[in-house]
Structure 1
């Protein structure tokens, strides 16, 4: 089973990019999934732009699907997620007043998992177009960093990887700081 999954992800089959795209769609719908590792791995098997596009379009499509499912079918799951994480009430208030900015900040700064942003936005009054625009703009920097890291690992360019790692650590620390502020 593991070898079959590895074969799907590797760029050795004619339609590997399609399999990789579909895997990114599915993985992006799972909270705490290893998207950074998978994105870097996919990007390491392609030229930079195709790898970036597979990752960005795959994660964005998965986010849109989960948003639409939350809006139409998964309302109870989303509400359960909210009650389980009380600190999210401030985020819900932000998303109700300015959905685009809340989704954008939720993507740019890792305050909560991407799937959480999708679920919360789905039960709120965020318009689909605003959600899609904020998702694409917000996911671009981190997916760009993961894809660039994977591409640079394949090239053996460790200096760039260090810079990318510092950027991602800074984002993570900023997200933790904001989350701590919200939980007080």
Structure 2
């Protein structure tokens, strides 16, 4: 109970601070280009952990300030660290036991969870690449399952690379050459289509497992 209270209170305080100060923080990033990489990464981490504003906006600002390569690395680090922190908050904050009981209570959710755990690395990597799936749902579901911390961390980091790179590129391109955004959207659209096809194959396996 104490662990849950600490996690909840800490989260509420951070959310409140980010809600009040997110605009000054973004302006600070814009005005201190490449001078404070570590501090910017910390800010990006908290903004990804509790997205009071959409993280693509944060990524775009950092990409414009730091360039496509360093910017992509910074927002990738921030997003990956945030997912690991959230996973840890749920798994080790006292919510895991209750969550596992819910996931394993019904036969349908039990089969999905067991299949997810069996193919955890590939499942998490693919799910991360599909932008329409909220990151917080993936974080929470993985934390409540019995996926290992190491597998989750590595798969989550790999799956985030395409989207984080795109955010940084868009932010940088808006400042330098906005016309290139069209080409990036086309390339990313093709990539997402391929990823989605793989995701559909994965969901068919789930449907087969549930019906069997």
Q: Bin the TM-score by the shorter chain.
A: 0.7 to 0.9
Change (3 A) 1:135 1:3: closer
The normalised TM-score by structure 2 is 0.67
Runs of 5+ consecutive residues of structure 2 not aligned to the other structure: 1-20, 208-212
Aligned-residue offset at 1:35? 1.2
The normalised TM-score by structure 1 is 0.76
Q: What residue in structure 2 maps to residue 59 of structure 1? A: 79
Rg bigger for which structure?
2
Q: What residue in structure 1 maps to residue 29 of structure 2? A: 9
1:29 lines up with 2:54 in the alignment: no
**Residues 106, 112 of structure 1: 8 Å contact kept:** yes
Q: What residue in structure 1 maps to residue 133 of structure 2? A: 112
Q: What CA distance in whole angstroms lies between the structure 2 residues aligned with 1:115 and 1:102?
A: 15
Q: What residue in structure 1 maps to residue 17 of structure 2? A: none
What is the CA RMSD across the aligned residues, in angstroms?
Answer: 3.6
Q: What residue in structure 2 maps to residue 129 of structure 1? A: 150
Q: What CA distance in whole angstroms lies between the structure 2 residues aligned with 1:39 and 1:53?
A: 10
User: Which deviations, in whole Å up to 9, do the C-alpha atoms of 1:123-169 show, x marking residues without a partner?
Assistant: 1111111111111210001111111111111212412x112223555
Q: Which moved more, 1:45-54 or 1:3-12?
A: 3-12
Q: What CA distance in whole angstroms lies between the structure 1 residues aligned with 2:94 and 2:140?
A: 8
Please state whether the residue corresponding to 1:45 is helix, strand or coil.
helix
Please state whether the residue corresponding to 1:110 is helix, strand or coil.
coil
User: Which deviations, in whole Å up to 9, do the C-alpha atoms of 1:95-150 show, x marking residues without a partner?
Assistant: 22221112111111235211111111111111111111111210001111111111
Aligned-residue offset at 1:58? 0.6
User: Which deviations, in whole Å up to 9, do the C-alpha atoms of 1:29-86 show, x marking residues without a partner?
Assistant: 236851112101111111322211111111000011111111111627x94xx88xxx
Q: What residue in structure 2 maps to residue 152 of structure 1? A: 173
**Residues 33, 65 of structure 2: 8 Å contact kept:** no
Change (3 A) 1:17 1:69: same
